[in-house]
Amino acid sequence: MALSTIFNFLQQLSKNNNRDWFHKHKPEFIKAKESFEIITEILIKEIGKFDKGISTLQAKNCIFRIYRDVRFSKDKSPYKTNFGAFLVPDGKKSGNAGYYLHLEPGGSFLAGGVYMPASDQLKKIRNYIFEHTDELKQIISKPTFKKDFGEISGDTLKKSPRGYPADFPDMDLLKFKSYIVIKEYKKSAAIEPDFLNEAFVIYHNMNSFVAYINKALN
């Protein structure tokens, strides 16, 4: 099974995060990577049914490299212990909101939205929320949204952002530095046979939120 292949490799990598081990086990890495590409291709096809901006993507352009940039990190482990893919209209570097898959032993999750956008993009989102607050509140108050994600996730400002009336009643919605939703899984749940089918439902349920953020950005 593709998911078992991925998790088995990542489990071993987390215990042997060094170049010698990795090179000796390169065939296992290639097999796990190919399995992840297959899963990503399936997600592109399924998400593309309700978000046409995803349907033309290629899996290889959505997947993040496993190699870590350790130049400015105290942790010199050369490899990530997860596989990640970001499915987003116009590609990973577009700045648009999209759908993220993160597979990691003990810490898998499905997510959607935009993480730490540039200041000009963040300003667009906040302005749109300020002008279309009710639309966002309707999205995040839906029972399916609350069941799957609880609420919007992400770091927030301690003070209100500048440029908005101090008495704006939904100021908390403007304080986010990222606008994302997350559904977390333990390893055992993420390798269940019906995990991907559930993922299709979760991504569909976050679609209105992702679409809202993309309207703000574009």
For residue 170, how far is the Cα from the chain centroid?
25
Cβ–Cβ under 8 Å, residues 150 and 202:
no
- Count of domains observed in the chain: 1
Cβ–Cβ under 8 Å, residues 137 and 157:
no
Closest CA relative to residue 183, chosen from 115, 114, 99, 86: 99
User: How wide is the angle at C-alpha 86 spanned by C-alphas 181 and 3, nearest 5°?
Assistant: 95
Q: Per-residue b/e over 146-173, b at no fewer than 16 CB within 10 Å?
A: eebbeebbbeeeeeeeeeeeeeeeebeb
Closest CA relative to residue 117, chosen from 55, 179, 174: 179
Closest CA relative to residue 34, chosen from 11, 63, 70: 63
Question: What sections of the chain are H helices per DSSP?
Answer: 2-15, 19-24, 26-47, 59-62, 119-131, 133-140, 143-149, 187-190, 195-217
Query: Taking the CB of residue 178, how many other CB atoms lie within 10 A of it?
Result: 16
In this predicted structure, what is the pLDDT of residue 1?
59
Q: Mean pLDDT, consecutive 10-residue segments, the chain of 218 residues?
A: 88 96 97 96 96 94 93 88 95 92 92 96 98 98 96 94 95 97 81 86 97 96
Contacts of 22 (CB under 8 A, 6+ apart): 13, 16, 29, 78, 79
Provide the total of helices (H) and of strands (E) in the chain, helices listed first: 9, 4
In this predicted structure, what is the pLDDT of residue 187?
67
Measured distance CA(88)–CA(114) in Å, rounded: 10
Parallel, antiparallel, or unpaired: how do β-strands 98-103 and 179-185 relate? unpaired
Residue 157: C-alpha distances to residues 95, 171, 177, 214 (Å): 21, 11, 7, 22
In this predicted structure, what is the pLDDT of residue 188?
64
Give the residue numbers spanning the domain of 203. Answer: 2-217
